[in-house]
Amino acid sequence: EAGVTQFPSHSVIEKGQTVTLRCDPISGHDNLYWYRRVMGKEIKFLLHFVKESKQDESGMPNNRFLAERTGGTYSTLKVQPAELEDSGVYFCASSQSQGLNTDTQYFGPGTRLTVL
């Protein structure tokens, strides 16, 4: 079974540009999570999708970040315009169902974003 995949693995952009990160969860997983780890700091939760709906977006830092999950399959996280402090590693995780024994989150490899 394929795991959670993320694309690209690395992205280097200039301040003010736009970047779109993609996450493909494990097939059949309704829950999709985005996390961010800024260098030297702890991982922070960004948001949680259940299928195509945003269940919790309390961790989104500001309105420069836009996440979508059209059709409840893959998700994109767009940063527009990117700022220097957005640099870090963005992780995606998915889980099958909430409230059951299938809610273990499986993490993707992350996308390393560098804003110059």
Partner 1 sequence: ELKVEQNPLFLSMQEGKNYTIYCNYSTTSDRLYWYRQDPGKSLESLFVLLSNGAVKQEGRLMASLDTKARLSTLHITAAVHDLSATYFCAVEVYGQNFVFGPGTRLSVLP
Provide the binding-site residues for partner 1, judged by CB under 8 A: 33, 35, 37, 39, 42-43, 45, 48, 59, 89, 91, 98-99, 103-107, 109-110
Q: Which is nearer to partner 1, 7 or 106 (CB)?
A: 106
Q: Environment class of residue 40 by beta-carbon count within 10 Å: exposed (0-12), middle (13-18) or buried (19+)?
A: exposed
Q: Which is nearer to partner 1, 3 or 16 (CB)?
A: 3
Beta strands 31-37 and 88-95, pairing class? antiparallel
Measured from the CB of residue 75, what is the shortest distance to partner 1 in angstroms? Answer: 16
89 DSSP β-pair partners = 37, 112
Whole-number Å distance between alpha carbons of 79 and 90 = 11
Q: Which is nearer to partner 1, 27 or 42 (CB)?
A: 42
